[in-house]
Amino acid sequence: MSLPVPIKTFTRLCLLLAFCTPAARAFELLPVQVGSKVWALIGETGPRTAENHGLNNTLGFIETPEGVILIGSGATPAAARLIEQTVAGITETPIRWVITIGAQDHHWLGNSYFSERGALIIALRRTVAAQKAHVADHLQRLKRFAGKEADAVRPVYADRIIDRDEAELKLGGVTLRLIWPGNGHFRGDAVVWLPRQRIVFAGDFVFNDRMLGVQPYSRVTEWRQAFKRIAALEPQVVVPGHGFPGSLDKARRDTGDYLDFLVDRVGKALEDWQELGETTDQLSDAPQFRHLKLYDSWHRRNINRTYLQLEAGPT
């Protein structure tokens, strides 16, 4: 199903404003309402910088009578403070829960800020395990671009760790499901599903408006299967881990179709005994994905890493 017309129109306006904002203006998160009392918080679609506090991703929150449920805490305490200020500009309801659905720094390394203010941090055990596995590398990267801001980062893991791969949570009359659909951009990433409004916070399983990045630890075939499980929920609104919220069709165009392209086309090249360089050159021009930001810097790298993964076989 497609997004309601007002959300489509507002998203187009937001895109225009995002690309026209003067560089000298202080970085701000862009709030976009995607449902009743449900908001996406959209950061930079390009790289992390000191100016954007590492918030080159999309977060969100749900307002309930008993408190706000925040999805993602940012990469640093300074980023978390900006998130808090953005939420406070929309509602006076305090943040009571913080659900972390990703292992990457900008999803959870702001946890300490909210924990100190009494919020309950919630995550799946799989997600926490992946956060612990990557934290050292992510802290080093934060120090490279964030400078002194990174010195304030103190990794704080979930207070409530859920052992199951799917759990129902309720706060203030709002029911949501925290689901691990399979491995994706990072192992252990999860999604938040709001069944009543048919909204999914898909985290880094979905990249809209910008090209996804296949990391050495991103298992492309598993990511494709996880995307299909998310699509099977038949959401009306998909809030991605990067980019602007949109319909399931948009998520398919920007992420699902691209994962299919990588697995199917690179897999066929391997079946035909093509070399890595030949495959990368042959598939490097994919006009159907050129609209995605960072295409030029990520597409060939994604082909290369997919080839090596498929050649190595399951791990």
Top pLDDT among 122 and 8 is at 122
Copy the structure tokens of residue 4.
């309601």
- How many domains are there within the chain? 1
Name residue 62's beta-bridge partners.
Answer: 38, 69
Quote the pLDDT of residue 207.
98
- Is 210 in contact with 51 (CB distance < 8 Å)? no
Least Cα distance to 199 among 176, 171, 173, 224 occurs for 176
Q: Which domain holds residue 182?
A: 5-312
| pTM recorded for the entire structure | 0.91
Query: Per-residue pLDDT for 286 more than 80?
Result: yes
- pLDDT of 178-187, one tens digit each? 999 999 999 9
DSSP code at position 217: T
CATH of the domain at 47: 3.60.15.10
- Average of per-residue pLDDT across 102-110: 96
247 or 141, greater pLDDT: 247
Give tens-digit pLDDT for 197-246.
Answer: 999 999 999 999 999 999 998 999 999 999 999 999 999 999 999 999 99
pLDDT band at 289 (very low <50, low <70, confident <90, very high): very high
